[in-house]
Amino acid sequence: MNADSDLPMLMARYQGGDFAAATALIHRLSPQLHRFFIVQLASRGHADDLLQETWLRIHQVRHTYRAGEPVLPWFYAIARHIRVDHYRKARRAAAREESLEEIPEVAATLPPGSGRTPDLKSLLAPLPESQREVIEMLKVEGMSLEEVARATSSSVGSVKQKAHRAYQELRERLTGMGFGTGHTGGLS
C-alpha cells in the first residue's frame, strides 16, 4: 500500500474543517516540501520561510483542491509558485540595489582529486531552475512523470525533455570531475 494513499482522505477532511487532518498533512508533507526548497535555495532560513508561506497559501486556497485529483502535485504546484514568487521578488530587489559586484556563484566546484563526492545541491546548482525542480521531484521525491507535469503545469513530454537534458549535463559534470566513465549510477 502506498504511504501517500490516505492523503486524499486527509485533504477532504481538511477542506471540511478538520484541523487535526491539517496537522497530519503538515507533519507528513513538510519534510518533503522543505527538501524541495532546500535543494533550490542556498539558505535553510529562506527554505523555512518559504515552507511557512506555502502552508499559509495552502490554507487560503484549500477550497480549490478537487477531490479525486492527486494531492502531491497540487501541493508541489503551490510550493513551486511560492518559490517562483520569491525568486521574482529577490530579482526585483537585486535590480534596485546599486552594486557593481557580480552575483557570486552558488555552487562551489570541487577541486579535482579532492577525494570528496559532490553533494546533490552542488551538482544541481548549475542546472537551469526548471531542470533542477524536475530532477528534485522525480528522483528525490519519487513523483511520477504525470505528477511532475501537473505540479509544474507542463506536459509529460516537456518533463521528459527537461529530465533528459539535466541527466546529460549531470553526466558530463560527473565525468569531468573524474566520477565514472559515463555510468550514471541511477541517472537514467
What is the rounded average pLDDT of the residues 96-110?
44
- Class for the domain spanning 1-104: mainly alpha
What's this model's pTM, rounded to 2 decimal places?
0.56
Where in the chain do CATH 1.10.1740.10 domains reside?
1-104
Rounded to an integer, the average pLDDT of 41-53 is: 86
d(CA 70, CA 77): 11
Residue whose entry in the numeric block shows the C-alpha cell 478537487: 66
2 three-state secondary structure: coil
In this predicted structure, the answer to whether residue 184 has a pLDDT above a threshold of 70 is: no
Asked if residue 137 lies in contact with residue 144, where contact means CB atoms within 8 angstroms, the answer is: no
Q: Which CATH architecture has domain 109-188?
A: Orthogonal Bundle (1.10)
| H or E element, residue 4 | none
Residues ≥6 apart with Cβ < 8 Å to 181: 175
Tell me the pLDDT tens digit for each residue of 59-94: 999 999 998 889 999 999 999 999 888 888 877 776
Q: How far apart are CA 149 and CA 134, in angstroms?
A: 9
Average pLDDT along the chain: 80
